[in-house]
């Protein structure tokens, strides 16, 4: 592997995801919308990637799992962690002053979307626990 290609792979964000995951699609849109380079890795089709997700998440198959070049990991981003994602990638994003207002509006919309998705997951989980506590066979 050429040295420049090895350097690029070491300094690229990796997003481990699945095609069916709404949070994965949101994170992908966010990176694309901010022109931030990343590698999309589908764990449904890549067994090594699926094993890496399990290792990173202590046996859980949580997606999206986003690995930054500094080694930090962000799992299943919410509105709050969406801000962390922004802070962690700000240096990688291509910024132009004339689009600053539009970017801020898009960031707010993304935070709201992450929050709504997190609430949806919480409600589904709550209903599942309620059904199990009432003796439902799941």
In a domain, 100, yes or no: yes
- Output the furthest CA–CA distance in the chain (Å, rounded): 60
Quick check: 74 and 60 in contact, CB under 8 A?
A: no
Note whether residue 127 is domain-resident.
Answer: yes
- Whether residue 8 is contained in a domain is answered as yes
The answer to whether the beta carbons of residues 74 and 81 sit under 8 Å apart is yes
pLDDT of residue 30: 81
Residue 34 three-state SS? coil
pLDDT at residue 70, as a whole number: 82
Residues of the chain with pLDDT under 70: 1-11, 78-101, 119, 121-123, 125, 127, 136-138
The pLDDT score that the predictor gives to residue 6 is 45
Digit-coded pLDDT (tens) for 22-41? 889 888 888 888 788 899 99
Is residue 138 assigned to a domain? no
Nearest-angstrom CA–CA distance, 34 and 93: 6
Return the pLDDT at 76: 84
Q: Assess if residue 27 is contained within a domain.
A: yes
**Domain ranges, residue 56:** 3-133
Cis, bond preceding 12 (omega within 30 deg of 0): no
Number of domains composing the chain: 1
CATH code of 110's domain: 3.40.30.10
In a domain, 98, yes or no: yes
């Amino acid at each position: 592997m050429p040295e420049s290609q090895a350097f690029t792979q070491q300094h690229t964000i990796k997003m481990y995801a699945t095609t069916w995951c709404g949070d994965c699609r949101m994170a992908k849109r966010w990176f694309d919308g901010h022109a931030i380079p990343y590698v999309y890795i589908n764990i449904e089709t890549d067994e090594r990637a699926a094993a890496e997700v399990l290792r990173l998440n202590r046996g859980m198959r949580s997606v999206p799992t986003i690995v930054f070049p500094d080694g930090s990991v962000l799992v299943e981003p919410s509105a709050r962690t969406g801000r962390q994602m922004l802070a962690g990638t700000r240096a990688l994003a291509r910024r132009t002053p004339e689009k600053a207002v539009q970017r801020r509006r898009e960031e707010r919309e993304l935070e709201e979307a992450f929050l709504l998705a997190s609430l949806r997951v919480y409600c589904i989980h709550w209903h599942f626990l309620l059904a199990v506590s009432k003796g439902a066979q799941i």
